Structure 1
Amino acid sequence: MRLSQKTRNLLVLAASLSIAACSAPQASDKAGGSTGADATGHTEEQKRNLANFDDLDFRVYSGQKWDEFNKSHAEDILVHYPDGSTTTGIADHLVKLKPQFAFAPDTRIAEHPIKLADGKYTAVQGIMTGTFTKPMDLGGGKALQPTGKKFVLPMMTVGRWENGLMKEEWLFWDNASFMTQIGAT
Structure 2
Amino acid sequence: MTYAESARETNTSRFERIVGEVWSGDFSAYNDLFAADAVVHTPFGTFEGRTAYRTYLEESLGVVPDFEADLDEVFEAGETVAGRFTQRGTQTGAAASAGLPATGNSFELPGSNFAQFEDGRCVEMWTIWDRMEFLDQLGLFPDSPRAFARLLGLRLRSRLGSRRSDRSRHGAA
The two structures share one fold, judged by TM-score above 0.5: yes
Counterpart code for 1:101: L
Against the structure 1 CA distance between its residues 47 and 177, is the aligned structure 2 distance closer, same or farther, given a 3 Å change threshold? farther
**Residue 124 of structure 1, CA deviation:** 1.0
Counterpart code for 1:178: F
Paired residue for 1:78? 39
Paired residue for 1:158? 114
Structure 2: state its 5+ residue gaps: 1-6, 142-173
**Residue 125 of structure 1, CA deviation:** 1.4
TM, length-normalised to structure 1:
0.65
Greater helix content: 2
1:59 and 2:24 correspond: no
Alignment of 1:1-185 (within 5 A): 48-62=10-24, 64-82=25-43, 85-109=45-69, 111-138=70-97, 144=101, 146-185=102-141
Greater radius of gyration (CA): 2
Deviation per residue, 1:39-70 (Å, 9 max, x gap): xxxxxx997111111122112321x1235311
Contact 2:33 2:121 in 1 (8 A): yes
Contact 1:46 1:117 in 2 (8 A): no
Contact 1:46 1:120 in 2 (8 A): no
Counterpart code for 1:97: L
Against the structure 1 CA distance between its residues 73 and 57, is the aligned structure 2 distance closer, same or farther, given a 3 Å change threshold? same
CA distance in 1, matches of 2:78, 2:8: 8
Identity level (%): 25
TM, length-normalised to structure 2:
0.69
Which of the pair has the greater relative contact order for Cα pairs under 8 Å at 6+ separation?
1
Deviation per residue, 1:104-156 (Å, 9 max, x gap): 111111x11111111211101121110012233246xx651x32211112121
Structure 1: state its 5+ residue gaps: 1-44
Which stretches of structure 1, 4 residues or more, deviate above 6 A after TM superposition? none
